[in-house]
Amino acid sequence: MEQDLLIYNTLSKKKEVFKPITPGYAGMYVCGPTVYGHAHLGHSRPAITFDVVFRYLQHIGYKVRYVRNITDVGHLVADADEGEDKIAKKAKTDMLEPMEVVQTYTNSYHRNMDQLNVLHPSIEPTASGHIIEQIELVRKLLEKGYAYENNGSVYFDVEKYAQNYDYGKLSGRKIEDLIVNTRELEGQDEKRSSLDFALWKKAQPEHIMRWPSPWSNGFPGWHTECIAMGTKYLGERFDIHGGGMDLLFPHHEAEIAQSCASLGHESVNYWMHNNMITINGQKMGKSLGNFITLDEFFSGAHPLVEKAYSPMTIRFFILQAHYRSTLDFSNEALQAAEKGLDRLLKAVEAIEKIKPTGESTVDVALLEEKCYAAMNDDFNTPIVIANLFDGVRMINSLNDGKEKIDAEGLGKLMNIYQVFVFDILGLKAEEAETGKNDVLKNIVDLLLNLRIEAKVKKDWATADKIRNELIALGFEIKDKKDGFEWELKS
Ligand code: ZN
């Protein structure tokens, strides 16, 4: 690529030119879901954001190793260090083995991601499959003096760490403020300071998910899995670490602390965070009743969802905002996205009808340049989409004969839409019930072909009857020099 790819680094708080550790290769780790329920709208944004990063890095020639984990142990309710494991809790209510809960919702997550046309990561490790790596990391942290054991549990010593490193540099928090804010809570548990976080927890007798360790039969803390698995598969230093902004603190801050404390340096070069989704201006939350699952969006089966929205409508809607902006879901906005996507995909089809001429009056190279410039500017998908819509006007003018294009330009135009709409943005044409729609299409085509035959035989009565009956059924029919075009108006 002639242009540099700029990535906004949450750590430096500025856009930086992407320079991979190994030329031609890119390593990316993204925090995946904790699988104790069906994926909801909040899961779709990081998945789609980093899917586009994955697709674009590959498109511009990188060999990408994309690791996205599944959290299946250690993530406690309220994201705290005390209390029940989210998965064990669900297992108890549903009377299932915890790993049955994990399998059920991992399958469900995969199904939703396929619907959203999110590519599979290169590696999808689970926390429970990497207990040994996590124990190893905890051992190193104890050895280096940045962790302590108390009653079978091991905690990270944040205040000790802060003497040598900058704790809070990612999230912009100041250790002094954090200490003041948490002092009064102390003395309630095994931690020296409530800022400390669990690396290993001794399992209470009722806790079912447990593994042997040098300290106790227990389980790893939530913040340990990602850095253990990231460094295992991508190396002690790797290029990109991503996730939702809600993970900045303490999850990602804790990851930086663990790599600096265990390795003496950071592991991640570029930290990327997608912003949050609100629904009708409100934060999503179980207590607010707006925790809408993706299945509920796809089927329309939720009181806040007026109608079914297809997976591609959700995907397109998410890509219409830059990943670092907040995004508010409403029925009006989704219906606008649905129409916009339809207009874009129809224009892509209409490119095939353009007839090339000997000369060009349109600048296709400029359109392509603008699309790449937008992607290279921190994956600015809304600008890419705006440029593609400018191109839609061009396509319509070419089909109306108001503008001209030569064969080479036409080939390039087709390629731009193929690359940006399908390969990079990852959109696809979707038909709600493909089978049924195919039959309908064949029947209408059959009738309109019979009408052409009738006209050839000058059987005007039959020709008009077919036409009028179809119009009465809600079809719009256009006669063309070389055939016909039709649409079912809903
Ligand atoms: Zn994580």
**pLDDT tier at 181, thresholds 50, 70, 90:** low
Ligand 1 centroid to Cα of residue 304, in Å, is: 30
Picking from 131, 191, 136, the residue whose alpha carbon sits closest to that of residue 158 is: 191
Strands 268-274, 238-244: pairing is parallel
Spatial CA neighbour of 278 closest among 245, 241, 242: 245
Q: How far is the CA of 119 from the centre of ligand 1 (A)?
A: 19
Ligand 1 centre to CA of 270 (Å) is: 15
Pairing label, strands 277-279, 268-274: unpaired
What's the pTM value of the predicted model, to 2 decimals?
A: 0.86
Ligand 1 geometric centre to CA of 37 (Å)? 18
Section 318-335 average pLDDT: 96
Q: Could you tell me the distance, in angstroms and rounded to a whole number, from the CA of residue 31 to the centre of ligand 1?
A: 4
CA of 187 to the centre of ligand 1 (A): 28
Sign of the four-CA dihedral 168, 173, 176, 180: negative
Beta bridge mates, 476: 487
Average pLDDT, whole number, for the chain? 92
Q: How far is the CA of 111 from the centre of ligand 1 (A)?
A: 22
Q: What is the structure's pLDDT at 487?
A: 83
* Per-residue pLDDT at 343: 96
What pLDDT score was predicted for residue 453? 87
Render pLDDT for 8-54 as a digit per residue (tens, 0 to 9).
999 999 999 999 999 999 999 999 999 999 999 999 999 999 999 99
Per DSSP, 185 falls in state G
Q: What confidence tier does 185 reach under pLDDT thresholds 50, 70, 90?
A: low
CATH class of the domain whose range is 6-274: alpha beta
Distance 315 CA to ligand 1 centre (A): 23
Residue 44 CA neighbour count, 13 Å, CB half:
28
What mean pLDDT comes out for the span 364-373? 98
User: How far is ligand 1, taken at its centre, from the CA of residue 251, in Å?
Assistant: 6
- pLDDT at residue number 2: 59
Asked if domains 6-274 and 279-424 share a fold, the reply is: no
Q: What is the mean pLDDT of residues 121-149?
A: 98
Grade residue 434 by pLDDT with cuts at 50, 70 and 90. very low
Buried b (16+ CB within 10 A) or exposed e, 111-140: ebbebbbbbebeeebbbbebbebbbebbbe
Class of 279-424 in CATH: mainly alpha
- Specify which residues 478 forms β-bridges with: 485
Both tokens of 168, joined, read: 């809070």
Percent of the chain at pLDDT > 70 equals 96
The pLDDT tens digits of the residues spanning 70-111 come to 999 888 887 888 888 889 899 989 999 999 999 999 999 999
Residue 461 in this model has a pLDDT that exceeds 50: yes
Q: In which band, very low, low, confident or very high, does the pLDDT at 286 lie, cut at 50, 70 and 90?
A: low
Q: pLDDT at residue 178 above 90?
A: no
Residue 437 clears pLDDT 70, i.e. is over it: no
| Domain range list for the chain | 6-274, 279-424, 434-488
Between CA 459 and CA 464 the distance in angstroms is 9
Beta strand pairing status for 327-329 and 277-279? parallel
Q: What separation in Å is there between the alpha carbon of 273 and the centre of ligand 1? A: 12
Residue by residue, DSSP assigns 251-320 as IIHHHHHHHHHHHSS-SEEEEEEE--EEETTEE--GGGT---BHHHHHHT-STT--S---HHHHHHHHHT
User: How much distance in Å is there from the Cα of 356 to the middle of ligand 1?
Assistant: 52
